[in-house]
Amino acid sequence: MAVLLPGLLVVLLSFRRAVWGVGLAGVVLAGWMTAVYVAFLAGAWLSIAIPLAAVMPIAMAFGVARLVIDRRRVQRLSGENRALARFQSPLLVEHILANPQFLEKPLRQDIPVVFLNLSGFTGVAEALGPQWARDLIADFQARVDRDVTAQSGHVVSFMGDGAMIIFGLPAAKSDDGSRALLAIMQLHSSVMAWLASLPPVAKDRLSVRIGGHFGPVVLSRLGAAEHQHVTATGDTVNVTSRLLEIAKQQRASVVVTEDLWNAAAPSIRDAIAVHPPIEVDVRGRTALLRIRTLE
């Protein structure tokens, strides 16, 4: 028993679930001591001290080592999760960690897509220089990410002075249209206030354009096997990107399609002042598009 018990306890304490291992180790020790007591009642006096003297140092040393290793593993995993959260939407990190196969197979969904960019940034970047331009973009992107995350949206990518945003991840919801419209209005208000606070060299030359659409997309992972990113593709995405051109043509800062407008709840629409719907041409498409512009 002095040989078998330490080995058995080490095996049990090495279980992946430490609680199970400790519980089973306790059951084994209790069973052995019960057997010794029963043997004593039957007239056989077995030694308890020698097996315990062999078990305790080994079990305690292994238990402490397991505790230290597990704590370091938890710290390492927490650090990796924090690092991942800095490169991926916090709304998706937990879901991806729990479901590593998320979007390995493309998924078709009807969701809102939003594009926005800063008009005039190229000239401002030339005037400010690379360091100030970088700081300007960092401030802009932080505001965009904050407003989008507040409405449970996901910034698919930042493209310099622009961004592509989708709603409906990790799963589509009935209020995606309402949250997308609210995010658009908050982004417009937030970015306009931010632009007003900039020095004249930037404030007088920058403006924001935002386009929003609702329709079918294919959600999937794109990129090499070693480095992938979640994105959406399809006609809905292409149309949304063209809305920034339409916003320029219409001299509007916000353009949303009738599809997105109708996808939002009536209570949300009633609180937003927009121009009546009009039909416009979209570069590259044959069908006309019905849009609304912000007043």
CATH number of the domain bearing residue 186: 3.30.70.1230
* Final residue in a domain of this structure, among 59, 87, 115: 87
- What does the pLDDT read at residue 64? 81
Q: Which residue has the tokens 């402490």?
A: 64
* Domain presence at residue 9: yes
* Domain presence at residue 263: yes
Q: Are residues 188 and 234 in the same domain?
A: yes
pLDDT in tens, 22-70: 788 888 888 888 988 898 899 888 888 888 888 888 878 887 887 788 7
Q: Are residues 194 and 162 in the same domain?
A: yes
Q: Are residues 135 and 263 in the same domain?
A: yes
- What does the pLDDT read at residue 246? 95
Q: Are residues 260 and 157 in the same domain?
A: yes
Measured distance CA(103)–CA(240) in Å, rounded: 22
* Domain presence at residue 93: no
* Domain presence at residue 28: yes
Q: Are residues 238 and 107 in the same domain?
A: yes
Reported as type and span, the H/E element at residue 214 is strand 207-224
- What does the pLDDT read at residue 175? 95
* Domain presence at residue 214: yes
Q: Are residues 78 and 212 in the same domain?
A: no
Listed in sequence order, the residues at least 6 apart from 123 whose beta carbon sits closer than 8 Å to its beta carbon are: 205
* Final residue in a domain of this structure, among 28, 59, 87: 87
Measured distance CA(128)–CA(198) in Å, rounded: 12
Give the residue ranges of the chain where pLDDT is below 70: 80-91, 295
Q: Are residues 136 and 258 in the same domain?
A: yes
* Domain presence at residue 92: no
* Final residue in a domain of this structure, among 87, 120, 142: 87
DSSP bridge partners of 218: 108, 233
- What does the pLDDT read at residue 287? 87
**159: number of CA atoms within 13 Å, CB side?**
10
Measured distance CA(275)–CA(252) in Å, rounded: 10
The domain containing residue 81 runs over which residues?
4-87
Q: Are residues 200 and 141 in the same domain?
A: yes
Of 151, 149, 147, 153, which is closest to residue 191 (Cα–Cα)?
147
Q: What total number of domains does the chain contain?
A: 2
| Torsional sign, CA 164, 171, 254, 287 | positive
- What does the pLDDT read at residue 91? 66
- In one-letter notation, the amino acid at residue 288 is L
Q: Are residues 78 and 131 in the same domain?
A: no
Cβ contact 190:273 at 8 Å: no
Number of neighbours of residue 112 by Cβ within 10 angstroms: 31
- What does the pLDDT read at residue 88? 63
DSSP bridge partners of 162: 117, 159
Q: Note if the bond before 170 is cis, omega within 30 degrees.
A: yes
Cβ contact 255:293 at 8 Å: yes
pLDDT in tens, 64-108: 887 788 788 878 777 766 665 666 666 677 777 777 778 888 999
- In one-letter notation, the amino acid at residue 67 is L
Tokens of 134: 């970088």
